Amino acid sequence: MIKQLISDYVDQHLEEVVADTSRLIRIDSSNAPALPGKPFGEGAAKALEEALAIIESYGFKTTNYDNYVITADMNEEEKALDILAHLDVVPAGEGWTVTEPFEPIVIDGKLFGRGSIDDKGPAMAALLAMRAVRDLKLPITKNVRLILGANEECGSEDIAYYFKKEPFAPMTFSPDADFPLINIEKGSLGGRFTGKYLENRAIPMLKAFHGGHTSNVVPNKAYAVVCGMPVDELAKAEARAKELGVQISFEGEEEVTIRVEGVSAHASLPEKGNNAVTALIDVLSQMTFADGGAMALIRELGKIFPHGDTCGEAAGVKMSDELSGALTMTLDILDVENGSLRGVFDSRAPICATEENLYLVMKNRLEAANLYFDADVKMNPPHYADGNSEFVRTLLACYETYSGKKGEAKAIGGGTYVHHIENGVAFGCEVEGIDNHLHGADEFIGLDVLAMSAKIFALSIAELCK
């Protein structure tokens, strides 16, 4: 009975959700420099203002927390559930073909535009769910609060600000990831480190090394500049690169630039890539150089991050647990030149990871090689919500009701909007098997997924707050 009532209501009001989402998509709400009263820039503040107007037109009580977040309350009762979404977006980017990034359009049952799936469409689906529960007069005795932030893509300072003023709800879900449900998010150790070396002009010598550009991406390109390297050593390098499965090229004669190209991947799944930085370290380590200089430090680094080791075994931090899986580790950035080395590695840590068995081990391992963490490096702990709790079981049952698929809680290597929220889980709206072009050109959300999500959220509210 309730299932059909909710389904009919959502289907009857779906066009309104598409229109509301489109109003938000038209605003470029990518983060920009702060302005007075607008901590995340003009666009983010404008998106919050527009969302307030939409929410208030449906009769909900709203609050603006200084343009960090806005909220909408279902009623005046004790708060039981927070639904956490965000209105900021990643920059437009290039390569759009269906429409311009901030000109929403519906084609073949899909709403295209920047923010359609991440996270303006899901936010409006949650608002429709609240409308359905209220308008259908479904019997609930607790309050639901919709929280819409404006800084999820660039650090989540919005939510940190909000929770300094307000307590956590007993239950929180965020429609900013995947269905069925994510209850475990690995921790992380973003290790920025430096080292110094005495430049050695004796040849053959390594003059420079540069590879990678982003701290959470397996690098697909790296290059080194070597001086006075015999031809037979370059042939040795070429043979080693072939063994490692990377492309290699050479430019120059007396001063040779060696370029290596591997395969990029997300740092949470490093085994899917072929790391150009560690491959080039390996290639160089097979070659003969004069003693000392940059290569002495590079060789030590190669012992900590050998090519193909994506689980931290050589570093002494290999670990795993049944719930969250194995630790992953990848060396993402390395710049060496003029007596200075600077590197960044990315580690996704399972629940069993601690300061003692991860941070301190890596710190000591690097220091033994005369490499040192930056002062502000610290471990971001894992996030875990009980996958057998009544809260999670209820959400999964509601998912099963409208999706027709088996609901199960899962762990991921990345982090979501609820990473630091007690009992928080990520719940929708991406569906397995559908590439929504998240953060890419031609981002979209299917209208069927938009409707299904709203139905799932409405039933979840009704069940959790009755």
Catalytic residue numbers read: 88, 152
Would you say 113 and 29 are in contact if contact means Cβ atoms under 8 Å apart? no
Rounded-to-integer distance, Cα 367 and Cα 389, Å: 43
Q: Which of 56, 84, 81 is nearest to 141 (CA)?
A: 81
The size of the chain, in residues, is 466
For residue 50, which phi and psi values (nearest 5 degrees)? -65, -40
Q: Which of 14, 24, 50, 53 is nearest to 131 (CA)?
A: 14
Rounded-to-integer distance, Cα 449 and Cα 159, Å: 26
CB atoms within 10 A of CB 285: 17
Instruction: Write the secondary structure of 378-447 as one string of H (helix), E (strand) and C (coil).
Output: CEECCEECCCCCHHHHHHHHHHHHHHCCCCCEEEECCCCCCCCCCCEEECCEECCCCCCCCCCCCCEEEH
* SS3 at position 89: strand
Rounded-to-integer distance, Cα 89 and Cα 21, Å: 13
For residue 300, which phi and psi values (nearest 5 degrees)? -65, -40
For residue 127, which phi and psi values (nearest 5 degrees)? -65, -40
Q: Which amino acid is at 196?
A: K
The residues near 322 (Cβ < 8 Å, ≥ 6 apart) are none
For residue 376, which phi and psi values (nearest 5 degrees)? -95, 10
